[in-house]
Amino acid sequence: MTTLFVSATAEEAAYLPQDKQIIVTGIGLVAAATAVMEAAITTRPDRIVNIGTAGALADGHSGVFEISHVVQHDFAGTGMDEGFAQKEFDLPVGGNLPTARLASGDHFVSSTAERNRIVKLAELVDMEGFAVAWVGERLGIPVTLLKQVSDQADEAAAAKWAGAVEPGAVQLAKAVEKLGL
C-alpha cells in the first residue's frame, strides 16, 4: 500500500520516518490543493494522510485528533455558496485516536471573535485539511487528517504556534505510528 503524507511545512513532518513519501505543500488551501493534486496524479497513492497543527476552537482540546468531518469555513455563508462547490466532507476514522471536526480556511485564526464564530462548525481550525480532503474526494483516494492542537486560535495563537510546532511534530509522528500508517 502506498501512502502519500502531506504537510504544510517541513517542520510539521520532521519526525516522520525517512522512508515515508512526504510532500510539503506550503500554507493555505490553494497551495495544498495544487501540491496534493500534482503529487496524487503522479504517484497514485492508495491513501493520503495530512498531518499538521491546528488551533483549538473549543475549550479543553489538546493533543492529536483524527478528523471525522471537515468544512471550509471561509466560503460558507457568502450567499453564493449553494450549489457551487462541496464545502464539507465526512471522513472515516480508525477509532484509535480522539476525533474532532475541522474547519479550514485561508487565514490564520487569531482572534476570539473569529474563534467564537467558527466554533459553531468545528472544534479545530487549520489552513489545509479541507483542500486535502477535496483532492482525495475528486480522485477517489481515501484521506486521513491528523491534527495536533498547537494553540487556542485566539490573540496569543501566533506566538504559541511557533513554539508548538516541534513538540507537535513529535506527537504527530507517534500518532502515525500508532495508526500503522
Q: What is the pTM of this model?
A: 0.92
Domain CATH code at residue 132: 3.40.50.1580
Place of cell 478528523: 67
Counted domains in the chain = 1
Residue 71 backbone dihedrals phi, psi, to 5 degrees: -135, 145
- Contact between residue 87 and residue 44 where contact means Cβ atoms under 8 Å apart: no
Q: Could you give the CA distance from residue 34 to residue 169 in angstroms, rounded to a whole number?
A: 23
User: Whole domain around residue 33: which residue ranges?
Assistant: 3-179
pLDDT digits (tens, 9 = 90+) for 160-170: 888 999 999 99
Find the helix or strand (DSSP H, E) in which 179 lies.
Answer: helix 157-179
Report pLDDT digits (tens) over 57-90: 988 899 999 999 999 987 655 555 555 555 889 9
Average pLDDT, the chain: 91
Indicate if the pLDDT at residue 9 is higher than 80. yes
Band of pLDDT at residue 155, cut at 50, 70 and 90: confident
Looking up cell 494553540, which residue turns up? Answer: 151
Residue 110 pLDDT:
76
